[in-house]
Structure 1
């Protein structure tokens, strides 16, 4: 379900956004810094400081996770069902492995939010749709770099 294109954009995305809903139907969207695609059907998110997300998932497991490469302005929306795997659970370290590789000793991971992905949809900036003849990934990167006031770093030559 999650092919190489999804994995590549995920690799380039600094944050993902996890949407959950509470018992009263109140939505919550929370940025997540430590997350990974675990396999073709699962995404794992570290519960480092996510008590609301964890509580909401216990009440309503349906979630949406989105991520975007902010320079290319393309990404993906993943919809699925989540569950919390706590540190005391036998399967914790299997799910936590890619997250622990990211954080090392920097953060304590209280639990892992495991999302079984049910659907994947592309996210693209409106320019790609409304101005397809003028919009390329290169033009979007240039525009984003101007907007964020950043410059490309020249790579060291061998």
Structure 2
């Protein structure tokens, strides 16, 4: 279900927005800078500072994740169910190791969340739909607008 393009977008997005449901039924959004594709059916993220997200998922494991590459002006909406994995589990160790390599030895990490993806829907800018835009041209245009230089883009 999760193909190479979806992997590219999750990696390039750098920030994925996770939507959960509070006990009173109201929506809750939380940004996640730790989202990574685990395999062809799962995306994982770490609870770094989101006790509300964990509480919501404990009560109701349904969620939606939006990953959008702001330069490409497109992304994906992933819908699924979460399971929570504590320290010492293979999912937690895998994701925590990546976070420590990326951010240093003191980076906080509580529970890992593994999301089984049930449905994927593309998100595209009207620039593609109505303007017939080319992805390379959009990346160049938005890189220029945000004043992102080439070596900064390579880091993304």
Please give the TM-score of this superposition, normalised by the length of structure 1: 0.87
Larger radius of gyration: 1
Aligned position for 1:32:
32
Which of the numbers 128, 141, 144 marks the counterpart of 2:142?
A: 144
Structure 1 position 112, deviation (Å) = 0.8
Aligned positions of 1:50-69 closer than 5 A: 50-69=50-69
Aligned positions of 1:4-153 closer than 5 A: 4-87=4-87, 92=89, 94-104=90-100, 105-132=105-132, 135-153=133-151
Aligned length: 149
SS of 1:38's equivalent in the other structure is strand
Q: Deviations over 1:29-66 (max 9, x none)?
A: 11101121111111111011010100110111110011
Q: Deviations over 1:66-101 (max 9, x none)?
A: 11111111111100011211226xxx2x11243223
Q: Which consecutive residues of structure 1, in runs of 5 or more, have no partner in the other structure?
A: none
Q: Could you say which structure has the higher helix fraction? A: 2
